[in-house]
């Protein structure tokens, strides 16, 4: 494919569509362990086949998708030479049989920077952790456990995240929806795999948050449209059925599924004394799936004694004020919990990571929409990625790197009109058709965005044979949504992922 050694200056006139080309920067590096690797950073042009009056009318560029690929040099063969487009061509070699991990975050509206520079890549954000944050201007450090030691990595930013944009004349909203986003990410993976001769490599999709829903959908698209079977799905902070998370009148399930997370966060903040976290969480899970579930479904049919008993148990489990529990009629969402748990200390707790706190802007507010956990880590990740892509990867672009943006809204779920957004049927089908597909699942106990008990509820309701369930591995961490922010959890998480991508 045509290649420009220097990216186009966004301040100049746009290039004619037929001249829109990839703009990769290619660099060679070495890990502290001695492993040599190549980085290919830049924007891949995606094109669509056009027809006019029933006849082929060329390939029209539609989007420029930013990605960073890490490919290790194989010590048993001649190091693969990257061509002008950052691709490797030729017969299958040991290097080309190395596993490849395609990774992305979620949102919708998130770039891949969190998984890229928080967990998987060779360079890592120096952000600190809850209670020990690194001050500005932050920094970068080597990631001693990088998954690059065991698999090649391709980090993907969907449209309007990172440096990814549509080409001139294309509506960006065209890609802001479940189906279009699924097809675009699948096309990036197909194209990268084909250009780099990696069809015979073991392939893994790793997603976080909405990225887990995307990973399952993309795996289905790859299988159905291109016949590409993946070896594994890494699901970090999982949501495959949004009905388990969306609070709404008449939908009681999410209230019960969040209860163990409320208990865990209360425990972290010292509200359960010297009890063990495992005991607190187990007690909350048992009450949520039994008595609390019953109480919620009964509604106004609960007797006064039953209602009082429910208020008392919920107060014990969550440490919330009984008066608050009564005022909410046993039903509160996470924004209310965030404002209420540490109200007496004039603090609100984080949503993506309940370990983080911040002073309440208005102590009388009953709802907190600000997330102190995101506020704490957004700065370090922003500084790191903006420095890294230019100074170390050699990619230049004057566009803002969109880390977490609202530019993708509104997001279309028209595929699911009238029904919950749910991809569990796709995962059921993939597991049935591909008896070698394995699923790795990571949970954070302090994750208020995608609670662990909600994901467990989804697995329990999937129609799977025992043999298929045996292909799941589950990993729990005393951390939040981005569990790798906790250094100890990151070490454990990378060890589990290493085993996941290395297994055959």
Q: Which of 353, 373, 387, 375 shows the shortest CA–CA distance to 141?
A: 387
**Predicted local confidence at residue 96, as pLDDT:** 77
pLDDT band of residue 15 (cuts 50, 70, 90) is: low
pTM: 0.91
HSE-up (13 A, CA, CB side) for residue 152? 28
**Predicted local confidence at residue 51, as pLDDT:** 62
Q: Please give the helix or strand (H or E) that residue 183 lies within, else none.
A: helix 178-195
202 vs 366, residue with greater confidence: 202
Residue 212 CA from chain centroid, whole number: 6
**Predicted local confidence at residue 94, as pLDDT:** 63
Q: Which of 436, 445, 432, 504 shows the shortest CA–CA distance to 474?
A: 445
**Predicted local confidence at residue 332, as pLDDT:** 96
Strands 152-156, 55-72: pairing is antiparallel
Domain-wise residue ranges, the chain: 17-243+377-502, 247-373
Taking the C-alpha atoms of residue 171 and residue 143, their distance in angstroms, rounded to an integer, is: 38
**Domain 17-243+377-502 belongs to what architecture?**
3-Layer(aba) Sandwich (3.40)
The per-residue pLDDT for range 362-406, each reduced to its tens digit, is 877 788 888 999 999 999 999 999 999 999 999 999 999 999 999
Tokens of 33: 């362990």
**Predicted local confidence at residue 173, as pLDDT:** 87
The per-residue pLDDT for range 252-303, each reduced to its tens digit, is 999 999 999 999 999 999 999 999 999 999 999 999 999 999 999 999 999 9
The per-residue pLDDT for range 111-127, each reduced to its tens digit, is 999 999 999 999 999 99
Average pLDDT, the chain: 91
Residue 330 CA from chain centroid, whole number: 31
């Amino acid at each position: 494919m045509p290649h420009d050694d220097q990216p186009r200056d966004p301040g100049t006139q746009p290039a004619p569509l037929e001249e829109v080309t990839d703009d990769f920067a290619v660099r060679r590096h070495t890990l502290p362990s001695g492993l040599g690797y190549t980085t290919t950073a830049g924007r891949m042009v995606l094109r669509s086949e056009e027809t006019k009056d029933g006849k082929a009318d060329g390939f029209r560029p539609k989007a420029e998708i930013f990605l960073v690929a890490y490919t290790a040099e194989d010590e048993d063969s001649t190091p693969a030479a990257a061509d002008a487009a950052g691709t490797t061509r030729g017969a299958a070699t040991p290097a080309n049989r190395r596993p490849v991990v395609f990774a992305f975050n979620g949102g919708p509206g998130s770039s891949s920077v969190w998984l890229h520079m928080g967990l998987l890549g060779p360079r890592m954000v120096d952000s600190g952790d809850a209670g020990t944050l690194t001050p500005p201007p932050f920094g970068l450090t080597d990631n001693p456990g990088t998954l690059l030691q065991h698999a090649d990595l391709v980090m993907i930013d969907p449209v309007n995240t990172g440096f990814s944009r549509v080409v001139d004349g294309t509506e960006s909203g065209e890609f802001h929806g479940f189906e279009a986003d699924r097809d675009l990410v699948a096309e990036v993976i197909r194209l990268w795999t084909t250009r780099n001769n990696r069809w015979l490599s073991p392939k893994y999709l790793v997603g976080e948050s909405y990225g887990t829903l995307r990973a399952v959908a993309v795996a289905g698209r790859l299988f159905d449209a291109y016949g590409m079977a993946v070896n594994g799905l890494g699901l970090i902070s999982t949501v495959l059925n949004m009905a388990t998370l969306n609070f709404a009148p008449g939908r009681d399930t999410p209230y019960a599924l969040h209860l163990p997370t409320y208990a865990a966060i209360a425990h972290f903040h010292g509200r359960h004394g010297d009890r063990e976290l495992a005991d607190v969480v187990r007690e909350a899970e048992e009450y949520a799936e039994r008595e609390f579930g019953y109480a919620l479904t009964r509604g106004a049919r609960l007797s006064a004694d039953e209602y009082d008993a429910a208020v008392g148990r919920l107060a014990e489990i969550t440490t919330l004020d009984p008066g608050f529990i009564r005022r909410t009629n046993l039903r509160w969402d996470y924004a209310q919990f965030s404002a209420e748990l540490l109200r007496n200390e004039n603090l609100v707790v984080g949503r993506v990571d309940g370990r983080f706190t911040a002073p309440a802007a208005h102590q009388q507010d009953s709802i907190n929409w600000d997330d102190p956990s995101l506020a704490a880590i957004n700065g370090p990740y922003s500084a790191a990625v903006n420095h890294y892509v230019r100074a170390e990867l050699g990619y230049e672009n004057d566009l803002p790197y969109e880390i977490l943006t609202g530019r993708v809204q509104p997001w279309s779920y028209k595929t699911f009109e009238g029904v919950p957004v749910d991809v569990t049927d796709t995962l059921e089908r993939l597991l049935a058709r591909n008896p070698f597909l394995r699923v790795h699942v990571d949970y954070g106990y302090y994750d208020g965005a995608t609670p662990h008990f909600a994901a467990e509820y989804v697995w329990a309701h999937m129609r799977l044979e025992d043999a298929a369930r045996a292909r799941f591995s589950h990993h729990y961490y005393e951390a939040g949504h981005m569990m790798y922010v906790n250094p100890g959890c990151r070490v454990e998480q990378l060890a589990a992922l290493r085993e996941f991508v290395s297994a055959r």
